[in-house]
Amino acid sequence: MPVAPFAAATPATTAIDSILYRDAFGTPAMRAIFADHALIARYVEVEVALARAEARCGVIPDAAAREIAAKADARTLDLDLLRRETDNVGYPILPLVHQLAAQCGEAGRWLHWGATTQDIMDTAVVLQIRDALAIVEADVAAVRTILAGLAQRHRETPMAGRTHLQHALPVTFGYKAAVWLSMFDRHAERLAQLRPRVLVGQFGGAAGTLASLGDRGLEVQQALVEELGLAAPVATWHVARDGFGETVNLLALVTGSLGKVAYDIMLLSSTEFGEVQEPFVPGRGASSTMPQKRNAISSELMLACSKAVQRHAGLMMDAMVQDLERATGPWHAEWLAIPDSFMLTAAALHQAKFALGGLVVDAGRMALNLGMSKGLIVAEAVMMGLAPHVGRQDAHDLVYAACRHANDTGASLADALGRQPGITAHLDPAAIRRLTDPANYLGAAPAMVDRVLQSVPRPGGGH
């Protein structure tokens, strides 16, 4: 047995970090942002920026800030010691400052001047979120481009629209893609609006009042956020967690839309529908026992990620209820929810780009399914065509009777209508054929495609 590789592997207990599942529930780019080493490096970055800011404001010696910047190095930290001391203290910043102070020698006594643990940790997470949002924004943009292409290409590709899982009225596949696209257009807008509310530094000191810095506190705060390229808070947000709550709930909205798209793809790719398929890759979606299977794996993963992020969104809402000037536990829940939510969102978007980018659309099967009810799907069209002659309610009752006859006998709706004197007295055979052709009852579906495509600027022009 190949024991050595297993013995050498780093233990992982979650799907996000699993050697088996990590690429299904995350991406390397997002993992690099939220990896332990990257987070610790962010802590060090904030501590160094604080020293520089305080030197700019004359709070600590300039020489000490230069020494701290030169010698504070996340790469040479004793991570095992940091882990043990963090487990003992409950937070990583005090143990981190101990090691950084030793690295910096005499200048180390000026480290962390006037700060509190949460200042460093919150600001580091904001820096992570800034980078993570850039990935999400780029992926959402890519999904929007793909969906815009699908909507344009299939603007007039008729298919059965379904409500309560039954045929309702004809739509077009382009219309369906445009509905999907409209959600992601709004998500792009939300992401842009989110940034100024969330990319805000944290520096308030022990109880958020910056009392330890006297009359220089707000000056240092401004200098710190300038060092890091963040905005300054109007008030300390140690226990005002709406920014982080909004962030994760926006991720829940994005993945919720991905879950809806995934659900549609899975249903439409079922054997009975057969209208779309995820891109074919040998072995992907295969069964260990049924050689014919081609499961919609990307859609399944998108849906799973969506459900998980929704749970984290609820956790973040719960974590907003924090006590007094410093939380006794809700803050810690964010350490679980924020990294996982970004990882799962990145994974879902990655799967969406693959599934939608190569989506196989079977227009022939759509047409076949559209005709399977033999015209019943456009019963409303007949009713509306008859209504001006007999009134809406009588038209409904006459067409309803024809539909029951068609269902009971297997006849087409056109044939059943032709057996109703109350109908043939007003509609000749040509009118019945026109009204029972699904392609003639697409409503504003193609026009809505155009409206969505033209609603926001897109690469290459209006479409």
Q: What percent of the chain has pLDDT over 90?
A: 53
DSSP at 361: E
User: Mean of the pLDDT values across residues 330-338?
Assistant: 86
Long-range contact set of residues 409-415: C-beta below 8 Å, sequence gap at least 24: 410/374, 411/374, 412/374, 412/375, 412/436, 413/373, 413/374, 413/375, 413/376, 413/378, 413/379, 413/382, 414/374, 414/375
Residue range 20-33, pLDDT digits in tens = 878 878 899 999 99
Report the C-alpha gap between 453 and 463 in whole angstroms: 5
Q: Which of 18, 37, 98, 164 is catalytic?
A: 164
Report the C-alpha gap between 394 and 388 in whole angstroms: 10
Residues of the chain with CATH 1.10.40.30: 376-435
Provide the greatest CA pair distance for the chain.
Answer: 102
Name which residue leads in pLDDT, 10 or 96: 96
- DSSP per residue, 403-428: HHHHHHH---HHHHHHT-HHHHTT--
Q: Which of 37, 270, 287, 389 is catalytic?
A: 287
pLDDT for res 294: 64
User: Mean of the pLDDT values across residues 428-455?
Assistant: 89
Residue range 191-202, pLDDT digits in tens = 999 999 999 999
pLDDT for res 463: 46
Helix H or strand E encompassing 143: helix 117-153
| Residues 6 or more apart whose Cβ sits within 8 Å of residue 295 | 285, 286, 287
Structure confidence at residue 282 as a pLDDT band (50, 70, 90): low
State yes or no: is 341 an active-site residue: no
Q: How many CB atoms lie within 10 A of CB 29?
A: 15
User: Mean of the pLDDT values across residues 302-314?
Assistant: 92
Residue range 168-184, pLDDT digits in tens = 889 999 999 999 999 99
User: Mean of the pLDDT values across residues 59-80?
Assistant: 91
pLDDT for res 287: 44
pLDDT for res 134: 96
Structure confidence at residue 413 as a pLDDT band (50, 70, 90): confident
Residue for token pair 């659309």 = 361
In this predicted structure, the answer to whether residue 150 has a pLDDT above a threshold of 60 is yes
Q: 46 and 123 in contact (C-beta within 8 Å)?
A: yes
Structure confidence at residue 249 as a pLDDT band (50, 70, 90): very high
DSSP at 283: T
Q: Is the dihedral of CA 232, 236, 237, 240 positive or negative?
A: negative
CA triplet 421, 427, 431: central angle to 5 degrees? 140
Residues of the chain with CATH 1.10.275.10: 32-110
In this predicted structure, the answer to whether residue 1 has a pLDDT above a threshold of 90 is no
Output the average pLDDT for the chain: 88
Structure confidence at residue 4 as a pLDDT band (50, 70, 90): low
Report the C-alpha gap between 441 and 158 in whole angstroms: 10
Q: 141 and 457 in contact (C-beta within 8 Å)?
A: no
Phi, psi of 443, deg, nearest 5: 60, -140
DSSP at 109: G
169 forms beta bridges with: none
The structure tokens listed for 125 are 């997470």
pLDDT for res 15: 81
The single-letter code of the amino acid at 102 is: A
Report the C-alpha gap between 197 and 10 in whole angstroms: 38
Query: Could you tell me the CA-to-CA distances from 220 to 118, 203, 229, 393 in Å, in that order?
Result: 16, 9, 14, 74
| Residues 6 or more apart whose Cβ sits within 8 Å of residue 95 | 81, 82, 85, 86, 89
Q: Count the alpha carbons within 13 Å of 113 in the hemisphere toward its beta carbon.
A: 28
CATH fold of 32-110 reads Fumarase C; Chain B, domain 1 (1.10.275)
In this predicted structure, the answer to whether residue 217 has a pLDDT above a threshold of 60 is yes
User: Mean of the pLDDT values across residues 203-232?
Assistant: 92
The single-letter code of the amino acid at 186 is: R
User: Mean of the pLDDT values across residues 77-103?
Assistant: 89
pTM of the model: 0.89
Q: Which CATH superfamily is domain 123-202+237-369 in?
A: Fumarase/aspartase (Central domain) (1.20.200.10)
pLDDT for res 57: 92
Residue 273, burial from CB neighbour count under 10 angstroms (0-12, 13-18, 19+):
middle
In this predicted structure, the answer to whether residue 419 has a pLDDT above a threshold of 90 is no
Pairing between β-strand 276-277 and β-strand 158-163 as defined by DSSP bridges: unpaired
Nearest of 235, 245, 239, 233 to residue 194 by alpha carbon: 245
Residues of the chain with CATH 1.20.200.10: 123-202+237-369
Residue range 130-148, pLDDT digits in tens = 999 999 999 999 999 999 9
In this predicted structure, the answer to whether residue 369 has a pLDDT above a threshold of 80 is yes
Helix H or strand E encompassing 171: strand 166-172
Question: Is the CATH code 3.30.365.10 the one for domain 376-435?
Answer: no
Highest mean pLDDT among 161-165, 295-299, 450-454: 450-454
State yes or no: is 373 an active-site residue: no
Buried b (16+ CB within 10 A) or exposed e, 80-95: eebeebbeeeebbbeb
User: Mean of the pLDDT values across residues 335-350?
Assistant: 93
Highest mean pLDDT among 277-286, 372-381, 448-457: 448-457
